[in-house]
Amino acid sequence: MPSVRKLGVRNLQIGPVGGTVTFMSHPSLTSDRVGNVLCISVDDGKANAFSPSLLVAMSQELADAEADAQIRSVVIAGNQKAFFAGFDLEVINSGDSKAITEMTTAGGAFIRHVYGASVPVVAASTGHAGAAGALLLCG
């Protein structure tokens, strides 16, 4: 019988559950391993902007999933209001060219990583997706 697991702020039917392990590598990110699926959920309480640290954490979660022979697919989800809003405007508006470069470089690397992942990656969106968030949906 399929199981319904809480993912972010909505329920997602993902199939039989063989056990769940939850990991946190960023304050806004939760990874739930449910059977052979890794569910990466992000909820910063706002629009889920891609900060440099969030992008690095998400890329690391995906790399870990690819390295784990038991993981057959990855689901990436945001919160109910926003899937992902794109790059963090606070970083962009800061004028700090080093931080902006770090963020956009990490963002490009993450999107390329998702598109070229060795496991299927599913974007589960229940909210708005803007800018780089929309790119993630297109993969």
The Cα 30–Cα 26 span in angstroms is 8
Domains of the chain are: 3-138 (3.90.226.10)
Q: What is the mean pLDDT of residues 26-40?
A: 90
Residue 74 DSSP symbol: E
pLDDT of 18 strictly over 90: no
Tell me the pTM.
0.78
From 125, 85, 123, 126, select the one nearest 107 (Cα to Cα). Answer: 85
Using CA atoms, how far residue 109 sits from 6, 55, 94, in Å, is 29, 9, 22
Q: Tens digit of pLDDT for each residue in 49-92?
A: 999 889 989 999 999 999 999 999 999 999 888 899 999 999 99
Instruction: Answer with the residue of higher pLDDT: 38 or 15.
Output: 38
pLDDT of 97 strictly over 50: yes
Using CA atoms, how far residue 43 sits from 10, 29, 40, in Å, is 12, 7, 10
Q: Are 5 and 14 in contact (CB under 8 A)?
A: yes
